[in-house]
C-alpha cells in the first residue's frame, strides 16, 4: 500500500485535512482560504489560546483562561499558573498534539509582554514543533 502524499505542512492529508484559515479571509480566487497540515494545527492552537471559555454559546467550555491573568503580576507563580492553563486547554481541545512543555518568559525590554512557548509533538508524525504565543498584561502603575 503506498504512503499518502504529504501536503506542504508535512502531515498526511487524510489525518489533518483542511480547515478555514485563521483569521478568516479569502484566497486569490475569492474562496474561503484554507489552512492545511501543521499550519492548520498551529492556527487551531492560536484559536484555543485566544478564546476565553464562555465566548462561544454552543461550546461554552471551549478556550483557555489566559485572560484571567491580564491584570496579574508576572511573578514565577503567575507564570506557572498561566503555563498550567495553557497546557490544560491544549490537552482538552487539540487532540492532534502531545504537549511536551509550556514555558512563560518575560520580555526584558517590554514588561507588559510575556512569551508563552509551547513545545509539542504532532501525534501522527512525531514531529517536534513549538509555538510562541505573545500575551500582554496590564502592568501596575510604576511598572512601566
How open is the CA angle 88-91-97, to the nearest 5 degrees?
Answer: 145
Q: What's the pLDDT at 32?
A: 81
Q: Where are the domains of the chain?
A: 13-136
Residue 7 reports pLDDT greater than 50: no
Spatial separation of the C-alpha atoms in residues 50 and 16, rounded to whole Å:
21
**Lowest mean pLDDT, pick from 16-20, 41-45, 77-81, 94-98:** 16-20
Spatial separation of the C-alpha atoms in residues 53 and 46, rounded to whole Å:
14
Closest-CA residue to 87 (of 113, 66, 58, 61): 66
Radius of gyration of the chain (CA): 17
The fold of the 13-136 domain, in CATH, is: Nuclear Transport Factor 2; Chain: A, (3.10.450)
Closest-CA residue to 40 (of 24, 16, 62, 23): 16
Spatial separation of the C-alpha atoms in residues 50 and 5, rounded to whole Å:
32
pLDDT per residue as tens digits for the range 30-71: 888 777 778 889 989 999 999 999 999 999 999 999 999 998
Q: What's the pLDDT at 35?
A: 72
| E strand spans, the chain | 18-20, 34-36, 97-107, 110-122, 127-136
pLDDT per residue as tens digits for the range 11-30: 444 545 677 676 778 888 88
Amino acid at each position: 500500500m503506498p504512503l499518502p502524499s504529504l501536503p506542504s505542512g508535512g502531515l498526511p492529508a487524510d489525518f489533518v485535512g483542511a480547515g478555514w484559515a485563521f483569521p478568516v479571509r479569502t484566497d486569490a480566487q475569492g474562496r474561503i482560504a484554507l489552512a492545511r497540515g501543521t499550519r492548520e494545527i498551529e492556527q487551531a492552537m492560536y484559536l484555543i489560546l485566544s478564546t476565553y471559555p464562555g465566548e462561544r454559546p454552543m461550546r461554552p467550555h471551549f478556550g483557555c483562561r489566559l485572560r484571567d491573568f491580564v491584570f496579574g503580576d508576572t511573578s514565577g507563580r503567575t507564570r506557572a499558573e498561566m503555563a498550567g492553563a495553557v497546557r490544560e486547554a491544549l490537552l482538552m481541545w487539540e487532540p492532534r498534539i502531545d504537549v511536551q512543555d509550556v514555558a512563560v518568559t518575560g520580555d526584558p525590554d517590554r514588561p507588559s509582554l510575556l512569551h508563552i512557548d509551547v513545545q509539542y509533538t504532532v501525534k501522527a508524525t512525531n514531529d517536534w514543533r513549538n509555538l510562541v504565543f505573545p500575551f500582554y498584561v496590564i502592568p501596575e502603575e510604576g511598572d512601566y
